[in-house]
Amino acid sequence: MTQISIVNTVEWEEADWLRLDCLGEVSYNPGYPAGEEDLVVRIGKAEIAIGADVRFSAEVIRHSLNLAMISLWSTGHDTVDLEAARRQRVVVSYVPAYSSYSVAEHTWAMVLHLAKKLAEADAHVRAKRFDWSAIQGMELHDMTVGILGAGAIGMHSAAIANGFGCRVLACTRHPDPVRAQKLRLTFVPFLELLARSDILLVHVPLTAETRDMVDTHAFQRMERKPILVNTARGEIIEPKALARAVDEGQIRGLGLDVLWQEPPDWDDPIVQKLLASKNVLLSPHCASHTREAFRKLTSICIDNVEAFLRGAPANVLT
């Protein structure tokens, strides 16, 4: 019988466990591995490993002698050494676009919170004050929204922006004129996106090309001092440049669902600066965490295992 190891905590319902039990002998390892050696132990003799937010490095893959498949319980796959997986003939499958609605909605919840100064308004009333003139928000209608990344999440964000009556710009390596017409957006180069945006949304995946993409030079090009929201990956924004931008008022508001280190080092001066800043809104990488999204995530993750066992792997990265 095929051995399947779930290498970290998952949030599954009983029907999911029953479905996986029909596919093989399942071992569950809750929590997260302490390092590479622990992850190898958790994989053990399994042919299939299921996991998310754990690093399947070249060493882990090399020492997992029976491993034939990694079924990621996630869309993000920057934690897997794909080249090492190819060398070892390990199939890696992922779950595309399961949380695109949830993440786009979370992104815009952050935008609204910052634009309407809801934290300040709530604190004002809780202090038993009721002076409307003390709180001045920002009207979104007719603002220019810049979207970095034109995948499923970026396009849902564009649709929401259209609903607010915003002008929408997007930057991607593969502009699609049909998509542009459908969503009433204009594809522009990166530097133009930075210069023209009142609201800037980061929706690109983390790659070697996008790592530290929003750096000091990028912040200097943000002529309109935008609200900046990142619900993609923390490493896309260079931390020291971000701290300077907050200090120097290069952005009028900042929403982060992701950080460059997760969980963060709470003693990091940059983290402390963000925690102390009034115009910064933080959440713990939870944008995708809705019941609806997680039902889809788990279903497709198990679909991928079934497809592999049938000899027709789906959603394959290697």
Active-site entry in 285, 289, 295, 306: 285
Q: Is residue 146 part of a domain?
A: yes
Q: Judge whether 224 counts as a catalytic residue.
A: no
pLDDT value for 58: 97
Q: How far apart are CA 205 and CA 15, in angstroms?
A: 31
Instruction: Indicate whether 234 and 174 sit together in one domain.
Output: yes
Instruction: Indicate whether 146 and 91 sit together in one domain.
Output: no
Instruction: Indicate whether 211 and 142 sit together in one domain.
Output: yes
pLDDT value for 62: 96
Instruction: Indicate whether 252 and 271 sit together in one domain.
Output: yes
Q: Judge whether 233 counts as a catalytic residue.
A: yes
Q: Is residue 314 part of a domain?
A: no
Instruction: Indicate whether 140 and 252 sit together in one domain.
Output: yes
Q: Judge whether 124 counts as a catalytic residue.
A: no
Q: Is residue 19 part of a domain?
A: yes
Residue 41, class by beta-carbon neighbours within 10 Å (0-12 exposed, 13-18 middle, 19+ buried)? middle
Instruction: Indicate whether 44 and 190 sit together in one domain.
Output: no
Active-site entry in 106, 196, 203, 233: 233
Q: Is residue 240 part of a domain?
A: yes
Q: How far apart are CA 232 and CA 234, in angstroms?
A: 7
User: Is-contact 294 58, C-beta < 8 A?
Assistant: no
What is the residue range of 298's domain?
Answer: 3-98+291-309
Active-site entry in 139, 223, 262, 292: 262
Q: How far apart are CA 287 and CA 203, in angstroms?
A: 12
Instruction: Indicate whether 130 and 147 sit together in one domain.
Output: yes
Instruction: Indicate whether 201 and 104 sit together in one domain.
Output: yes
Instruction: Indicate whether 114 and 139 sit together in one domain.
Output: yes
Q: Is residue 157 part of a domain?
A: yes
Q: Is residue 317 part of a domain?
A: no
Residue 181 sits in a domain whose CATH number is 3.40.50.720
pLDDT value for 78: 86
Mean pLDDT of residues grouped by 10 in the chain (318 residues)?
Answer: 96 96 97 96 98 96 97 92 97 95 98 97 97 97 97 95 97 90 94 98 94 97 98 97 96 97 95 95 97 96 98 94
SS3 assignment for the chain: CCEEEECCCCCCCHHHHHHHHCCCEEEECCCCCCCHHHHHHHHCCCCEEEECCCCECHHHHHHCCCCCEEEECCCCCCCECHHHHHHCCCEEECCCCCCHHHHHHHHHHHHHHHHCCHHHHHHHHHCCCCCHHHCCCCCCCCCEEEEECCCHHHHHHHHHHHHCCCEEEEECCCCCHHHHHHCCEEECCHHHHHHHCCEEEECCCCCCCCCCCECHHHHHCCCCCCEEEECCCHHHECHHHHHHHHHHCCCCEEEECCCCCCCCCCCCHHHHHHHHCCCEEECCCCCCCCHHHHHHHHHHHHHHHHHHHCCCCCCECC
CA 3 to chain CA centroid, Å, is: 30
Q: Which amino acid is at 117?
A: K
Domain count of the fold of the chain: 2
Q: Is residue 176 part of a domain?
A: yes
Q: Which amino acid is at 271?
A: V
pLDDT value for 76: 84
pLDDT value for 18: 97
Instruction: Indicate whether 10 and 112 sit together in one domain.
Output: no
Q: Which two tokens stand for residue 90?
A: 């390990």
Instruction: Indicate whether 68 and 125 sit together in one domain.
Output: no
Q: Closest by alpha carbon to 105, among 212, 300, 255, 315?
A: 255
Instruction: Indicate whether 126 and 170 sit together in one domain.
Output: yes
Q: Is residue 147 part of a domain?
A: yes
- State residue 214 phi and psi, 5-degree precision: -95, 95
